[in-house]
Amino acid sequence: MKKTIIARTLLGLLSGGVLLSALQLSVALAAEPFIEATEVETKVIEANSADLRSKDADLASVSFGKWLPELVEQFNRLPEVQAQLVRQQQAELAIQAADRAVYNPELGLNYQNADTDSYSLGLSQTLDWGDKRGVATRRAQLEAQMLLADIGLERGQMFAERLLALAEQAQASKALTFADQQLRFTKAQLNIAEQRLAAGDLSDVELQLMQLELASNSADYALAEQAALVADGKVIELLGNDQFAFSEFIGSIEGKFTQFSKASGAESRLPALTIAYQQVLLARANAIQVKADTAADPTINIAAEKEGTDNKLGIGVSVPLQVRNNYSELQAIAEKDTAIAEQQFLARERVLTAKQKQVEHALPRLLARYQDWRELVQTSGAKAAKSLSQQWQAGDISTSEYLQSRRQLAASYLVGLNLETAIYQTWLTWMGESGQLMPFVEQIVSSPSAFKQANAAPSITPNAAAGTANE
């Protein structure tokens, strides 16, 4: 009867929609003989658990603005970013070059040796009647603005990629630490199983099941280590080394970050959409420039001539006649380019609007599921993990049921890591693609105190999981 009641209680915890954490018992608790546990040892374990939770809470409460400035400084020193600074200087030089005069004056000198020698000196200047200089300057300014906006968008995507790599590295490190603790815990449980076998309280088959579980945990640890090495390699590839300060900021995404995204998420103010509209403005400027380039600019000539004793002064004006070619086809092509740019802007607007709606729909749900998971980790998960080990040690549940329940607990912890990764990917990808990330980062770096995590979420770490299991 006792076994039936406990089994039903455990089944209710696992099948009632409860997302349990992988709250394994600590190695210190598992290594102790299960019959010799005393009240003093229990108090010590509880004190250590509280200390672990306190340290994890301190780590999670680190403000996003505390470690972000250092990361931005390292990011700005990357060769790719330095190349962007040179591109900005090129844009400034292009504006200065476009603001120069289009036509230079022409100087002519002529001498004719005849019965009467003649000398002539002429100066001609073509006038910028079609305002080529003004149109070129406005076009260069617009191109510079587009370049700066494009660089800002590119920098945001680059920074989002690197920030996501750091987040994935942190998740891989958590998974590796968890796999290591699972492996060490299983070794300790195998020791207890051998003691129970010697006492006649466990069969050979159940001992073999524990040995198979140890082999499975060893394989999981190897895979987790491989994933951690891949994550470290990606960070090294993107940032030069893998030693960067990082702490989770999901709580800030749920609060301040979400508010910022909604405040700056209007379609007309998205930086990425602004860049797309600048393409339309540039196409219009190109159409105006075609018209200016094909305009008939007159040329004024002034000549002084001396022939014998006679002095002559001449003034002339020449105007190209656009009779055989009026360049109407070039102007029509430029106007078509403007129409194409307008349609491309509408297409870009549609894509960004759809992505924005998708993020606004998905991110709150991910955050809600993460919040539910976190709350259940601190309650039912801890009690279930502790109860499982006690019931198995007391012989109330079989080894196969115990191992299956432990796998469910471990899987629930990995679900939490996957939720964290999904939240980071969703938010960072959108902020990078929409061009909102770098303005937001610059705002944090300039005033980090405005973005402190007053109510930060507890860190989901293996140490915290192990700590709550000992309560």
Q: Could you give the CA distance from residue 244 to residue 168 in angstroms, rounded to a whole number? A: 13
pLDDT given at position 8: 37
pLDDT tens for each residue of 315-365 = 888 888 887 888 888 888 988 888 998 998 999 889 988 988 898 888 888
DSSP states along 121-183: EEEEEE--TT-HHHHHHHHHHHHHHHHHHHHHHHHHHHHHHHHHHHHHHHHHHHHHHHHHHHH
Above 50 in pLDDT, residue 103?
yes
Q: Which of 151, 167, 154, 166 is nearest to 239 (CA)?
A: 166
| d(C-alpha 429, C-alpha 164), whole Å | 9
pLDDT digits (tens, 9 = 90+) for 418-455: 898 999 999 999 989 888 888 888 877 776 554 444 33
- Per-residue confidence (pLDDT) for residue 138, from 0 to 100: 86
**Residues in Cβ contact with 407 at an 8 Å cutoff, skipping those fewer than 6 apart:** none
Note if the pTM is more than 0.85: no
Tell me what pLDDT residue 232 has. Answer: 92
- Residue 230: its pLDDT value, please? 94
Q: How is the chain split among helix, strand and coil, in percent rounded to 5?
A: 70, 5, 20
Cα distance between residue 183 and residue 430, in whole Å: 38
Spatial contact of 185 and 24, defined as CB atoms under 8 Å apart: yes
Q: Torsions phi, psi of 117, nearest 5?
A: -65, 145
Contact 18, 381 (CB under 8 A): yes
Least Cα distance to 442 among 125, 69, 149 occurs for 69
Provide CB contacts within 8 A for 19, sequence distance 6+. Answer: 372, 373, 376, 377, 381, 412, 415, 416
Q: Alpha carbon of 117 to those of 107, 286, 314: distances in Å?
A: 21, 51, 18
pLDDT tens, 158-212?
999 999 999 999 999 999 998 998 899 888 888 888 888 888 888 888 888 888 9
Is the pLDDT at 219 greater than 90, yes or no? Answer: yes
Residues 6 or more apart in contact with residue 274 via CB below 8 angstroms: 149, 435
- What's the rounded mean pLDDT across residues 113-128? 82
Mean pLDDT value of segment 38-48: 34
Q: What is the mean pLDDT of residues 280-296?
A: 86
pLDDT tens digit sequence for 188-199: 888 888 888 888
